Structure 1
């Protein structure tokens, strides 16, 4: 397979109107990624890619992210079997955000906590925020898998 390369960003017109893939990584070398279910459109997760993860995702047609907490590449599903097969990969107008539309293997979960989506709670807004004392509401009532069975006693990758 040929080496995947990105074009140099030369002009606004080139970035916004041409066919050149010239992603803009943030100062920390990362680009945000929003991931949704290919069929339903459900928002599954938000993550980041560095240049290597971006290229690996293109190469494998499977989601590869960069874990900011572990400071390493994270091939989604390598441990859990919940691989995200990329059915479509899009980039926004100024090429500083990626949208993955994926088919999740295994039981369909994308959240390391065990829920299908990482967005399993809602935040009340307006007057409801104060009426509910700002408490989050669970929108998913059952976990798809038990994280301890899948990951063992590995430390939670989320930093507090």
Structure 2
């Protein structure tokens, strides 16, 4: 995994899809070490932990790769009120009409 990998974040119990982020080798190692989700910020060009400003963190339960190993699904427990920086539970609240 030498590039960024799209990473879907899903609630372990409810199966709600919270968000899509991008992981790197470094962020995945940090995720495994700490037990909390770390991503690579494409705009800021640095690692960041989900909840560093809001304190709404994502505790890792299980990690899966897809069949081609070019996407990842991380099952989590949400520690806090919401997963989206907008204040919504999930980042997927804009319905296509």
TM bucket normalised to smaller: over 0.9
Q: Which segments of 5 or more consecutive residues in structure 1 lack a partner in the other structure? A: 1-23, 125-160
1:36 aligned residue: 10
Name the counterpart of 1:96. Answer: 70
**Between 37-46 and 72-81, the greater mean CA deviation after superposition:** 72-81
Map of 1:118 onto structure 2: 91
Give the structure with the larger strand fraction.
2
- TM superposition score normalised by structure 2: 0.93
Deviation at 1:46, TM superposition (A): 0.3
Cα distance in 2 between the residues matched to 1:78 and 1:113: 14
Alignment of 1:86 with 2:60, yes or no, is yes
Taking only aligned residues, the RMSD between alpha carbons, in angstroms, comes to: 1.0
Give the 3-state SS of the residue equivalent to 1:84 in structure 2: strand
SS in 2 for 1:110: coil
Structure 1 residue ranges, 4+ long, deviating more than 2 angstroms after superposition: none
Richer in helix (by share): 1
- Choose 1 or 2 for highest CA Rg: 1
The aligned residue for residue 73 of structure 1 is 47
Alignment of structure 1 residues 137-152 onto 2, 5 Å: none
> Using CA pairs below 8 Å that are at least 6 residues apart, which structure has the higher relative contact order?
2
Corresponding residue of 1:51 = 25
CA distance in 2, matches of 1:95, 1:60: 23
Q: What are the Cα deviations for residues 13-35 of structure 1, in whole angstroms up to 9, with x where unaligned? A: xxxxxxxxxxx34xxx2111000
Q: Deviations over 1:62-115 (max 9, x none)?
A: 1001111111111111221111000111111121111011111122x1111111
